[in-house]
């Protein structure tokens, strides 16, 4: 191993280093461990096997008893830093240390780096390999060398620069970063749990309002078929030569792919529509997937992947919309098709829903709208919070390797 280190700043960065730090090439403080660790020497040993699609930094490896005997895959010793060979997955690493049950990993998806522990603390290396500036520099080198997203060549990794502080400072940085990363991970998991709970709120609100079949109805309510209180209009696709990619004719909606949060979003237009939905019609997806809904806000052409539900004077439009969303599992059960799910207009007409008096429908719809709006605001706020949490590790790593930790 080459013990000489360079103080040259890599051409791909103009970042100054703190006093006592220096730039080194990975090959000056690491060696690349190849296949000299002969699997045949360990015929009875239990190995852990990894492949990139299932990789997770904290995941336990899949156990294979004596798997190396039947494989020519590389076997890595304890102390390795395994670095993903695949360019899109470059930030993925695995640090084999005494905290893991399996000290040897059988895989072909990583480049195994063995740090010179007299110069480079392995846990510091594990962190610096994930630092955004390092990843960007390395990906630039890969693109320049391979002109593609091929597997990473060892010489590119060994020639890459990292900032190297004195060994005690490396250990301090690694310890602080580990503590910070653990705190971020706890915050991320908490935010994800809160987000899942927020996503479940709309269904919970609907369950509080709508009885299921077989349950007693409140006084004044009755069971009706959807076709008794709504007109259901099946969509029909016009000839493809009448489609336009710019606003000409009417917006043309073909299925759930055109749906927004509440109203569909035009992507295609039609100059010779066959079936036209009107503003305030409920649009329902009737073909793979079955059940999702939107509300038309303009006259629009609908293809055979949609149906328009036009409420009569007996049913409030928003009440009907919330009922359809609550009974979506029942709508799916009514669908059929061996290749993909689809539901007929006649099946939708037979869907049974509970119907209170019109004033009560309007009151319920108003309460549900307020709850849904509040739930959507909460969901968006939690998504923004989660996104901010996910950005914290990169910011922490940048700060640490700028000497600001």
The mean pLDDT value of the chain amounts to: 83
CATH of 222-355, one of 2.40.50.180, 3.90.220.20, 3.30.1330.40, 3.30.540.10: 3.90.220.20
Q: Where are the domains of the chain?
A: 22-165, 222-355
Q: How many angstroms separate the first and last alpha carbons of the chain? A: 30
What pLDDT is stored for residue 303 in this prediction?
96
Neighbouring residues of 353: CB distance < 8 A, sequence distance ≥ 6: 210, 223, 224, 225, 226, 323, 327
pLDDT given at position 194: 97
Spell out the residues 6+ positions from residue 143 whose beta carbon is closer than 8 angstroms to its own: none
pLDDT category at 29 given cuts 50, 70, 90 is very high
* Reported confidence tier of residue 70, pLDDT bands at 50, 70, 90: very low
Same topology for domains 22-165 and 222-355, yes or no? yes
Model pLDDT for residues 101-155, shown as the tens digit of each residue: 444 555 566 778 888 889 999 889 988 888 888 888 777 766 555 554 556 778 8
Instruction: Quote the pTM value.
Output: 0.76
Question: From CA 187, how far away is CA 391, in angstroms rounded?
Answer: 12
pLDDT in tens, 258-294: 999 999 999 999 999 999 999 999 999 999 899 999 9
Q: What integer pLDDT is reported at residue 72 of this predicted model?
A: 46
Tell whether domain 22-165 is in CATH 3.90.220.20. yes
């Amino acid at each position: 191993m080459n013990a000489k280190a360079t103080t040259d700043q890599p051409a791909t960065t103009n970042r100054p280093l703190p006093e006592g730090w220096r730039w080194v090439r990975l090959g000056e403080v690491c060696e690349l461990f190849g296949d000299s660790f002969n699997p045949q020497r360990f015929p009875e040993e239990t190995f852990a096997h990894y492949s990139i699609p299932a990789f997770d930094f904290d995941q336990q490896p899949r156990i294979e008893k004596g798997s190396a005997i039947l494989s020519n895959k590389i076997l890595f010793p304890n102390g390795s830093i395994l670095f993903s060979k695949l360019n899109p997955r470059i930030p993925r690493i695995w640090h084999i240390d005494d905290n893991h049950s399996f000290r040897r990993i059988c895989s072909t998806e990583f480049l195994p780096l063995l740090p010179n522990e007299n110069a480079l603390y392995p846990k510091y290396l594990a962190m610096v390999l994930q630092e955004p500036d390092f990843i960007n520099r390395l990906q630039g080198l890969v693109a320049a060398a391979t002109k593609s997203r091929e597997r990473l060549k060892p010489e590119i990794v060994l020639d890459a620069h990292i900032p190297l502080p004195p060994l005690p400072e490396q250990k301090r940085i690694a310890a602080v970063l580990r503590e910070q990363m653990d705190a971020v991970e706890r915050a991320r998991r908490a935010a994800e749990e809160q987000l899942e709970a927020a996503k479940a709120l709309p269904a919970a609100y609907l369950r509080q309002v709508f009885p299921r079949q077989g349950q007693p109805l409140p006084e004044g309510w009755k069971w009706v078929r959807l076709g008794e209180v709504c007109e259901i209009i099946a969509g029909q696709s016009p000839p493809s030569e009448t489609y336009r990619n710019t606003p000409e004719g009417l917006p043309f909606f073909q299925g759930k792919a055109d749906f927004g949060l509440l109203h569909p979003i035009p992507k295609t237009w039609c100059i010779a529509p066959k079936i036209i939905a009107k503003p305030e019609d409920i649009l329902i997806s009737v073909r793979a997937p079955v059940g999702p809904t939107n509300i038309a806000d303009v006259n629009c052409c609908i293809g055979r992947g949609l149906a328009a539900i036009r409420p009569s004077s007996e049913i409030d439009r928003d009440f009907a919309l919330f009922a359809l969303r609550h009974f979506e599992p029942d709508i799916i059960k009514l669908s059929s098709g061996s290749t993909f799910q689809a539901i007929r207009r006649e099946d939708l007409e037979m869907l049974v829903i509970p119907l209170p008096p019109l004033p009560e429908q309007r009151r319920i719809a108003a309460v549900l709208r307020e709850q849904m709006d509040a739930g959507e605001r909460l969901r968006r706020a939690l998504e923004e919070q989660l996104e901010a949490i996910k950005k914290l590790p990169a910011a922490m790593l940048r700060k640490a390797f700028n000497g600001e930790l």
